[in-house]
């Protein structure tokens, strides 16, 4: 996200515009918590995780009167347009603000879950994926040395994108994720036993936190109760949401930050950016309500085939 902030500020600077940084998202708009953000404020942030602007949930943004007051505050301050970095909730808030009050809004996809319609990638996903893979490579050393079964829970409350891609990249023996058509737990023991019969001595199962079975601890309880299996559980948790971003995330953050400003300067009013087949794309904010993408089924099948 910092790469996107830096690029938006510096592109605006290049076009002769002033920029304000709004702190804590919509909460900052409600409380008028904004300050000038110059190119110099954006020095040395490209390589930092998180966001220099902080973030917050803002339930008050659901109230029309709150949005109307914020829109008036923006107009009074001479603000011409808003760049919003976030996911579907943030984009929905921006779309409504534009529709109700005419403030031009641009969206930059920022969520580690990579589950927004109309874009192959979102900021943070590549970094989170690489963090999960590096962590599991380390767990693999113990799994292998001690000939153990590990259940590793990755983030994804309603998306298996991190889980399925992590499973391929770390050679997991199985993956369980929310969008799977079949209940993963039912097939898991058969899958694991088949591996053991082929001579495997250790196994790693990647579980998305939002899997229908209820997460890695729940599955471990079931496996102990139903099959008397011994295992270890690791929940990777928020380490996936931090750390220095990968080059891919920095490059797309930079491209989207600059593009958002250029399009707003050219008069576009309600859009969000994305990437499709390597190309930078734009679509109306209202299309954030299109069906969200599922992890490619082909990847989940491949994970099973490669676990032989």
Residues with catalytic function = 113
Strand order in the sheet with 149-154: 174-176, 203-208, 149-154, 232-235
In the numeric block, the tokens 């997991």 are attached to: 172
Residue 249 makes contact with ligand F6P by CB under 6 A: no
| Residues in CB range of 260: below 8 A, 6 or more apart | 4, 8, 83, 106, 107, 108, 273
Q: How far is the CB of 235 from ligand F6P (least distance, A)?
A: 11
Instruction: List, in sequence order, the alpha helices (H) in 80-123.
Output: 88-101
- Minimum CB distance to ligand F6P smaller for 34 or for 125: 125
* Tally: H helices and E strands in the chain: 10, 10
According to DSSP, residue 182 is labeled: S
Asked if 259 interacts with ligand F6P (CB under 6 A), we say: no
> Is residue 209 a contact residue for ligand F6P (CB under 6 A)?
yes
| Nearest residue (beta carbon) to ligand F6P | 157
Among 111, 114, 119, 213, binds ligand F6P (CB under 6 A): 111
Q: Does 155 bind ligand F6P (CB under 6 A)?
A: yes
Q: How many residues bind ligand F6P (CB under 6 A)?
A: 7
Piece of 59-67, 107-115, 178-186, 246-254 that binds ligand F6P (CB under 6 A): 107-115
Q: Which string of DSSP letters, residue by residue, matches 192-234?
A: HHHHHHTT---EEEEEETT-TT-SHHHHHHHHHHHH----EEE
Instruction: Using CB under 6 A, pick the residue from 95, 113, 211, 249 that binds ligand F6P.
Output: 113
Site for ligand F6P (CB under 6 A): which residue of 107, 156, 160, 253?
156
Q: How far apart are the first and last CA of the chain?
A: 39
| Interaction of residue 217 with ligand F6P, rule CB under 6 A | no
Binding-site ranges for ligand F6P (CB under 6 A):
111-113, 155-157, 209
């Amino acid at each position: 996200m910092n790469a996107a902030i830096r690029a938006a500020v510096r592109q605006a600077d290049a076009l002769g515009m002033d920029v304000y940084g709004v702190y804590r998202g919509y909460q900052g708009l409600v409380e008028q918590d904004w300050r000038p953000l110059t190119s110099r404020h954006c020095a040395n942030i490209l390589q930092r995780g998180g966001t220099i602007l902080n973030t917050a949930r803002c339930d008050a943004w659901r109230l029309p009167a709150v949005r109307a007051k914020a829109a008036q505050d923006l107009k009074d301050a001479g603000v011409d347009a808003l760049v919003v970095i976030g996911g579907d909730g943030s984009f929905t808030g921006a779309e409504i603000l534009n529709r109700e009050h005419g403030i031009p809004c641009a969206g930059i996809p920022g969520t580690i879950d990579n589950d927004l319609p109309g874009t192959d990638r979102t900021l943070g996903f590549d970094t989170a994926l690489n963090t999960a893979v590096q962590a599991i490579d380390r767990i693999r050393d113990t799994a292998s040395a001690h000939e153990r079964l590990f259940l590793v829970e990755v983030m994804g409350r309603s998306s298996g994108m991190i889980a399925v891609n992590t499973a391929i990249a770390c050679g997991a023996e199985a993956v369980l994720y929310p969008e799977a058509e079949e209940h993963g737990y039912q097939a898991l023991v058969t899958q694991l036993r088949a591996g053991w019969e082929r001579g495997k001595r250790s196994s790693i199962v990647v579980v998305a936190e939002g899997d229908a079975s209820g997460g890695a601890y729940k599955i471990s309880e079931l496996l102990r109760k139903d099959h008397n299996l011994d295992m270890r559980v690791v929940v990777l948790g928020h380490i996936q949401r931090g750390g220095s971003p990968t080059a891919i995330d920095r490059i797309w953050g930079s491209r989207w930050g600059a593009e958002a400003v250029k399009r707003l300067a050219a008069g576009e009013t309600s859009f969000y950016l994305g990437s499709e087949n390597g190309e930078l794309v734009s679509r109306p904010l209202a299309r954030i309500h299109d069906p969200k993408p599922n992890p490619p089924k082909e990847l989940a099948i491949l994970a099973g085939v490669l676990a032989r």
